[in-house]
A and B are shown apart, each in its own frame.
Chain A
């Protein structure tokens, strides 16, 4: 268990472990033997290892759902629900601004400067970014585009959706937590039978 010390510490701190954030740790976590060891170790702390459906990201959940645990989950859930729209809008905005043909996935790189440059010249993108930055989730007070973008990316880094490989270089890598977010949305959609399609219509296929 000693060799997984730093990994356990990250997990306990609430980090999401995926191939992007920590490749070695992710490889370890993908082995059933290690999973069992870690779960055994975490048992007295009332924690267990949880992953999303396709096992692309690992994090810790409660082992037993005590009253306190449920209260924590409940408050966390309402925060997550609040953050859904700003996160989705950000995903759309990045895709459109950078002219990508598909949504962001784990491992994609975003250059901050490129994003700023493209937004600067486009009034409608600028407007959307402005609205997004002032959303409660990002809560920017600044009117400056540069500051708004920096704040948005910093917040997403804090929330674990982005990774900044070099502190002084302004480029970010999308982490596997995005997959988790998508899974979450898909789950809510299925569970609540929301009228939200993700298959192209018949005309689009032809």
Chain B
């Protein structure tokens, strides 16, 4: 392969720089396109769109489809922001290996011809390929760890997590298969007799790949553990849901009587509780001091003498009896009033009776008792009396009536 002409090389440089600048110039709109999955064409001028398409940043997958980011650009962004939903793992080792072989051959040919500047360039490319190969594993491992450590938090449901975990395990297997393709005997042969090559292909690459290999095995172990955990959670959710459904459908369901089996399952063997209780013991002289302090620390009851409480309850009892006696007296007087009504046959004013008999009752209580007694009569006896209330309005503004007096008379039978 011929070295690049300086003119082409500088052209390459300026085009590359210009196109990278395009990415920066439209960063917001392009990132929006990454998030949405398509490009909002109204966000760009026509010229800008043409440039972006020419720069192979945007493309139209189909006539009917809107513009979108090229897959390589999407991948670049996914890798930069560690977006595990979109990040891709490249497990293709065979292609890289083929390129390395070719470069080694080209390098040796150039050296053989004594064309040292070409050989230098080929070695440079070869170094890039070796780093690419190692970087490819590094990127994949980084992505796998990232997913692991977030517990596959980038998908929401448990089913999705299980699927994502299985996908990661498949990727991992491909990566391990890829590592197996690297045959160090072949690499040693390739680098035979050349210090640069040996350093690059054997000591450096071997070192990196063996550390990748152990990382991958560790990730694999963790992925399997996590999958087991996911499956366990899934089983638990299903058990809960299905058992609840079963119990709802069979409300009378009663499991077998496990506690009376000859061999009680240990899950059902839950002993009755024992609460250890202790009381003060006075048999150890050494503890007396402590106990005495405890007793002294007890809060003292407030000083209420016993005689006081006794007399209080005594008078209370007396009062109750007094009230009962007064009530009985009132009742008797009211009954006498009714008897007078029956004797006289005419209407009698309750208050007049109260004053003529010189009874000591408060007039209001007297009226209440008369009404109460009337209401308490059996229905047929009630009909024997006519009750008329002397009422006066309490005020001009409402319909409230105050009872002034009550007249009770016998109804003509």
Contact = CB atoms under 8 A, between A and B. Distances in A.
Contacts of A46: 271
Contacts of B259: 70, 73-74, 76-77
Interface stretch (B47-55, B260-268, B294-302, B309-317): B260-268
Contacts of A95: 237, 240
Contact of A88 (B156, B243, B267): B243
A105 B255 contact: no
B255 A12 contact: no
B273 A14 contact: yes
A200 B159 CA distance: 10
Interface residues of A, number: 54
Contacts of A183: 267
B238 interface: yes
B273 to A, nearest CB: 4
B236 A198 contact: yes
A186 B265 CA distance: 13
Of residues B159, B161, B244, B260, which shows the largest number of chain A Cβ atoms within 10 Å of its Cβ? Answer: B244
Nearest to B274: A12
Interface stretch (B11-19, B110-118, B128-136, B246-254): B246-254
A71 to B, nearest CB: 8
B235 A72 contact: no
A164 to B, nearest CB: 20
A61 B272 CA distance: 8
Contacts of A192: 255-256
Contacts of A88: 240, 243-244, 247
B276 interface: yes
A103 interface: yes
A199 B259 CA distance: 29
Interface string A4-18: 000001001110000
Contacts of B267: 50, 52, 180, 183-184, 187
B239 A14 contact: no
B248 A85 contact: yes
Contact of A188 (B156, B159, B255, B273): B255
B123 to A, nearest CB: 50
Interface in A43-63: 45-47, 50-52, 59-62
Interface string A167-206: 0000000000000101111111101101111111000100
A25 B275 CA distance: 19
Contacts of B268: 73, 77, 80, 184
Interface in A76-103: 76-77, 80-81, 84-85, 88-89, 91-92, 95, 101-103
A105 B258 contact: no
A91 B248 CA distance: 15
A171 B98 CA distance: 60
A117 interface: no
B241 interface: yes
Interface residues of B, number: 40
B233 A61 contact: no
B244 A191 contact: no
A12 B239 CA distance: 31
B235 A199 contact: yes
B269 interface: yes
Contact of A73 (B237, B247, B269, B276): B269
A103 B240 contact: yes
B335 to A, nearest CB: 48
B236 A102 contact: yes
B4 interface: no
B7 to A, nearest CB: 58
Contacts of B272: 14, 69, 72
Nearest to B266: A50
B246 A74 contact: no
A76 B270 contact: yes
Interface in B152-210: 156-159, 161
B16 to A, nearest CB: 45
A59 B248 contact: no
Contacts of A81: 254-255
A101 B274 CA distance: 40
B5 interface: no
B234 interface: yes
B274 A45 contact: yes
A58 to B, nearest CB: 11
B383 interface: no
9 contacts: A47-B271, A59-B270, A70-B259, A81-B255, A103-B237, A189-B243, A192-B255, A194-B246, A195-B246
Given A61-B266, A74-B257, A185-B240, 11 more contacts: A12-B275, A14-B270, A46-B271, A61-B270, A62-B269, A92-B240, A95-B237, A195-B246, A198-B239, A199-B235, A200-B234
